[in-house]
Amino acid sequence: MTEVIADSARAAQLRGRLTDELVNKGTIVSKEVEAAFRTVPRHLFAPGATLEESYAQDTVRTKRDEHGITISSISAPWLQAMMLEQVGLCPGMRVLEIGSGGYNAALMAELVGADGEVTTVDIDPEVVDRARSCLTEAGYSRVNVVLADAEEGVPKHARYDRIIVTVGAWDIPPAWVDQLTEGGTLTVPVRMRSLTRSITFEHAGDQLVSRSAEVCGFVTMQGAGAHTERLLLLRGEEIGLRFDDGFPADPDLLDGALDTTRVDVWTGVVIERMVPFDTLQLWLATALDGYCRISVDPELDTGLVSPITRRSNDAAVDGGSFAYLTARRLDESMAEFGVHAFGPGAATLAEAMAEQVRVWDRDHRGGPGPRIVVYPAGTPDEQLPDGRAIDKRHVRITISWPSADLPAAGHGARRERHRAR
């Protein structure tokens, strides 16, 4: 009993410290979300983790597949807090969470109160059983825990004032929209050209218009909504190019690209080190037809390519050439964006990408950010705004850029995790 009391006191101390950090960093801004974080015992939803691990500013991985890839987790506290602030839950609301784990549902139950209702759904029986057990142990047995493929939502408990998706989604099924109440919102980490943003959408006729957008990362959707990026490996497995769409028609053209001399172009665009450059990725994904992501295996890295980050970095392909974003230090506090490129058309592609960095710097850096709108699949091109149209199975997503003196529809991406080196 003494050990139990000691653990409980230590958990409360760690929970308070974690919440203080989130408040001090500005991630938690409302008293309601703060109170929920101070109340819900996060460690009860992380079986097998120590108290310190449960209350760290990190993801707690609860299940991996046969390849060791995380398929279920308790998201990092900053991400959960950010999304809850983004969603804006109030007492009495009915809310659906797609992608279960238990902890986030408990936080939402605190926010909607006894007069509200929380439903959480997951496709994995093991995850559902664990969520139900943890919620009961923590005192939140009133949460509806459902085993289902969420492609069809959860009609039994609909309609919902808020739907929050806590897995990475590639598409937006009609059921998610149909099960919202009038005036309800959908918050979903949607993947667009390999970039994921947590976007809160509201209705505007037959469209969904972004009200806020935040940088995020989640485990990917399973079931009917799953969509796998295509990977193109270069130099054995040292370098990978990932495509969400627009996979090269003839990828063999890139076979000899790395045998050419690397072309380096420096943009003249300077950024203070450790300062976010959050809209640059989305601008490049909008402006470049061959946009993709480049990654380098750290165990096989020969130093041939030097992107800003080896894990995932902006890149573009054109025929037998590819280019990618990099940066160089100018002094202890400043860095300059540049582009490296390989292949027979490296010089042209590198300059084209560098010019788009300059355009971003001139027209969109520090501006309102993009307007992201979801249209039904089949909407004719002439009915779409200027910008990039991204075709999914159920919808067409457009990314357009208002001029710097005009407001975007609720852009809020100000938490970019990619930094200049």
Residues with a catalytic annotation lie at 75
C-alpha span between 175 and 39 (Å, rounded)? 33
DSSP symbol at 300: T
C-alpha span between 300 and 303 (Å, rounded)? 9
Burial class (CB in 10 A: 0-12, 13-18, 19+), 26: exposed
Q: How many residues does the chain have?
A: 421
DSSP symbol at 169: B
Does an H or E element contain 130, and which? helix 125-138
C-alpha span between 291 and 101 (Å, rounded)? 34
C-alpha span between 127 and 125 (Å, rounded)? 5
Two structure tokens written together for 17: 């410290």
SS3 category, 50: coil
DSSP string of 150-161, one letter each residue: GGG--GGG--EE
Q: Could you give phi then psi for residue 106, rounded to 5 degrees?
A: -65, -40
Two structure tokens written together for 207: 């469209």
DSSP string of 6-35, one letter each residue: HHHHHHHHHHHHHHHHHHHTTS--SHHHHH
In angstroms, what CA-CA distances link 254 with 260, 263, 279, 316, 346? 11, 15, 29, 12, 11
C-alpha span between 365 and 308 (Å, rounded)? 18
Q: Could you give phi then psi for residue 418, rounded to 5 degrees?
A: -90, 130
Does an H or E element contain 367, and which? none
The neighbouring-strand residues paired with 39 are none
